[in-house]
Amino acid sequence: MSLALDRPEFAPPPQRGTPRAVVLALIAHALLIAALTWGVRWKSDPDEGAVDAELWSSTVQQAAPRLSAPPAPVPTPAPPPPAPAPPPPVAKEPEPAPAPRAPDIALEREKKLKEQKEQKERELEQQQQQQKKKELEAKQRAQDEADRKKEQQQKLAEQKKQQEADAKQAEAKKAEAAAKQAAADRAAMLKRMQGLAGASGSDDSKGTATRSSGPSSGYAGRIAAAVRPNITFPDADTVNGNPAAEFEVSLAPDGTIVGVKLSKSSGLPGWDDAAERGLRKTDKLPRDTDGRIFPSLIVSLRPKR
């Protein structure tokens, strides 16, 4: 374990066999020095010329320093002897095999690789969990939004249903009130018509005479039937309720209309104008059932039949 801590992780493995190589190198140098010494002694004869020899080895080794030979004698040189045989080549030291990786380094690297793998697996698992959490949150939000919209639609439907019920109830009340008002208007119109008709009689006429001398109960309907074909009012169906417009109508002895005056407006200026034009266009009103013509009448007209 100390080797893994003292040396860098990716440093080359230490070379083995260094002492043996040093010993072999020293032996080779000793042999070389011995050979050179022997050659110097062998060449000490004055008749022999100086000969230098170089030895080469297939392995790179540090060469020994060159020995200086003693000065050669001046006598006539003899033919050089044959060169000595070179020493046998030194066997090349086989390169040491790479040292196996230290067990501690291998275990440490394996441990780091395992930790990196576990870290990546944890990160991947966390990412998957976060993705699932986001999907669940998005699904929950969509469900909540759908529930909210559904509840809102239900509330709107209930409100609409309640509004329709209220509108129907209000319409029924309006129709009932309009019917009551129409009945009251008809009764008042008949009463006024009877009063006006009685006022045209003799000065000594009494109330009973006035009532007996008034128009018949169906005379108002005959007048409306005569006038309505001459009235043009296309907006009658859009009118709320059925308001009445009352006119004071003056008649000639033959029933010709000589004067029309609005005495009570219906609240619809368009209907008031259309009803007045219809009266003037009618020109002559029909006689009552007994053939009488009343000089003055109150005619009530409504936009709806």
The full set of domain ranges for the chain reads 17-95, 179-301
Q: Are strands 257-264 and 296-301 parallel, antiparallel or unpaired?
A: unpaired
Average pLDDT of span 111-133: 92
pLDDT of residue 118: 92
Give the tokens for residue 216: 């018949």
Give the tokens for residue 92: 């090349």
**Bigger pLDDT: 178 vs 1:** 178
Highest mean pLDDT, choosing among 39-43, 184-188, 287-291? 287-291
Q: From residue 126, how far is each of 121, 133, 273 by CA, in Å?
A: 9, 10, 84
**Bigger pLDDT: 92 vs 280:** 280
Give the tokens for residue 212: 């007996």
Residue 11 has pLDDT above 70, yes or no: no
Compute the C-alpha angle 10/15/18, nearest 5°.
160
pLDDT of residue 209: 39
Average pLDDT of span 126-143: 92
The CATH code that applies to domain 179-301 is: 3.30.1150.10
What backbone phi and psi angles, to 5 degrees, belong to 262? -75, 120
Highest mean pLDDT, choosing among 43-52, 93-102, 177-186, 289-298? 289-298
205 HSE (CA, 13 A, CB side): 17
In angstroms, what is the C-alpha Rg of the chain? Answer: 71
pTM over 0.85: no
Work out the burial of residue 266: count CB atoms within 10 Å of its CB; fewer than 13 is exposed, 13-18 middle, 19 or more buried: buried
Q: Where residue 84 falls among pLDDT bands split at 50, 70, 90?
A: low
Q: Considering the chain, what is the average pLDDT of its residues? A: 75
Tokens 């018949």 label which residue?
A: 216
Q: Where residue 117 falls among pLDDT bands split at 50, 70, 90?
A: very high
Residue 96 carries which side chain, given as an amino acid letter?
P
Q: From residue 206, how far is each of 115, 209, 232, 287, 288 by CA, in Å?
A: 126, 5, 41, 24, 22
Residue 269 has pLDDT above 70, yes or no: yes
Residue 179 has pLDDT above 60, yes or no: yes
pLDDT of residue 7: 56
pLDDT of residue 199: 36
Residue 96 has pLDDT above 80, yes or no: no
Q: Residues of the chain with pLDDT > 90: what percent?
A: 16
CA atoms of 216 and 220, how far apart (whole Å):
8
pLDDT of residue 106: 84
What backbone phi and psi angles, to 5 degrees, belong to 102? -60, 140
Residue 101 carries which side chain, given as an amino acid letter?
R
Residue 77 has pLDDT above 70, yes or no: no
pLDDT of residue 136: 92
pLDDT of residue 230: 87
Average pLDDT of span 145-150: 91
**Bigger pLDDT: 141 vs 197:** 141
